[in-house]
Structure 1
Amino acid sequence: MEYQQIVKEIAPCGLDCRRCAGYSQGEIKEHSTKLLNLLGNYERLAKIMSDHNPAFSDYQSFKEILTSFSQASCAGCRNDASACPVDCIAKTCHKEKEVDFCFQCKEYPCSGQNNPMLRERWLQKNNRMKEIGVVEFYNEQKRIPRY
C-alpha cells in the first residue's frame, strides 16, 4: 500500500483506524454487517440450539453487540467528524505541526501525550514507525490483532 493511503488509515498517534471497532470504513463494521446479514433471522434457531448449547440462550445479547459494531460511525482521527472517545492530543497537534505522524515532529517525544496508558502505546507505535518506516509499520500492524 502507498504512503498516502496509509496516512488515511493510520492515526497520527500510530493506531490503526481501519481496524477500530468504531471506524465507519473499518473491517469490524464490514464483517459485522456481513455476519448480521448472513445470520438473518437466526433468533428462531438460537432458541432451538440453546437446548443443546446454553451459549445460544444469550444470542440476543450477541446480536445487539454485533449490531452496534455494524453501526460504527467514526470518520477517523484525521477527520473533523471523528467520534473517537479517547482524548488524544495527536488528533489536533499533528495538523498544527504539519506532520502526518507524531514521530515526524521535531519536538517528538513531547509531553503533550500525558495520559500514562496512551503515552506508552503512543511511544511504542511511533518509535516503531520511526525505526522501520511507515509502510513496513502498516504491513506489520495488519498482521496483529488491533485490541
Structure 2
Amino acid sequence: MPESAPWEYSLHLPNDLRAVTVSRRTLRLILTMHGLIGLVDIAELLAAELVSNAVRHTKGPAALRVRWAPPGTLRLAAWDADPEPPQPPRAFAHTTDDEDGRGLALVRACADVWGWQPSARDGNRGKYVWCELAAG
C-alpha cells in the first residue's frame, strides 16, 4: 500500500549513458520500498526516456528527481544543463526505422501529464523535463 506522507529523492548523475540503467534500478528500489509496485514498470520506462534525453542531448551533468504527493501522484523529473526547451514530441511513424526523437512522444503517450520548466541546480542553468503518473 502506498504511503500517505509526501517524499522526494534526487539522484545526481554524470553525463554517461550508464546513468540510464542506474536511474532505472534506483527508481525500482525507491518505488518498491514505498509500496508502489504497480507503478514500477511504467515509471522505469518514463524515467529511462527522460534521463536518456538528458545525457544524450546535453554535455553537462544530469539529475533524476522522484516525488510522491498523496493521495496518489508520482512525479518524475530529469534535470539537464541545457536551458533550451526540449524538442516537441514527434508522432510515432510505423514506416520508419529511425530510433531517435521518439522519447518524448512515448512520455506524452504513457504519462498522465508532462511538461518542462527552466531551472538552475548548483549554480548551473538548465531545465527540468517532468511527467506525472496517478496511482490507482
Q: TM-score, normalised by structure 2?
A: 0.31
Structure showing the higher strand proportion among its residues? 2
Bigger radius of gyration among the two: 1
Instruction: Give the structure with the higher percent helix.
Output: 1
Q: Which has the higher contact order (CA 8 A, sep 6+)?
A: 1
The two structures have a TM-score, normalised by structure 1, of 0.29
